[in-house]
Amino acid sequence: MKHVKVNSKTSERVRTPLIRFIKQYGDGHITQKGIRWLKTTPFDELSYNGNLIHVYLDGKKIVGVLAIANYGLEQALIAVHPDYRQSGIAYDLVTNALKEINRLYVKVANDNIPSLKLCFSLGMHAFDLTKGPTGKPTLILGLGNWNAEEWKNK
């Protein structure tokens, strides 16, 4: 398997497969706002201001995607193909991203147990509770050089 960083040199042809993958394997946890961000963000804006997209490939098959906008203050999306879950792909995607952006914020609904397990295994800290887009209680978590004030001032 191969870890790939999407950047300005990446062909726009990969955008459609990335969006299709996120929709198919995001288990209904990816918002329409997140999908719109993926559809519209120019690849040359990645690697600036906490924006990135990292992909795991098995041959030419996408098996994992992580997309972050503004350190997660705007968007934080992750999806792993069901056949590859429990293999460390999500953990590796996040730890590699953190080397690049130094902090990360995520919102996770309290009933999304797999994502919460990932977050706590990474050492994320829950620092706030809000109502998510579907009305569910949602934890706000930070990792790396996070700051609760940065989240509140977004």
Share the mean pLDDT of the chain.
Answer: 93
Cα(25)–Cα(126) distance, integer angstroms: 25
Q: Look at residue 9 and tell me whether its pLDDT is greater than 90.
A: no
Please give the single-letter amino acid code of residue 53: I
Report domain extents, the chain.
2-152
Q: Look at residue 47 and tell me whether its pLDDT is greater than 80.
A: no
CATH superfamily of 2-152: Gcn5-related N-acetyltransferase (GNAT) (3.40.630.30)
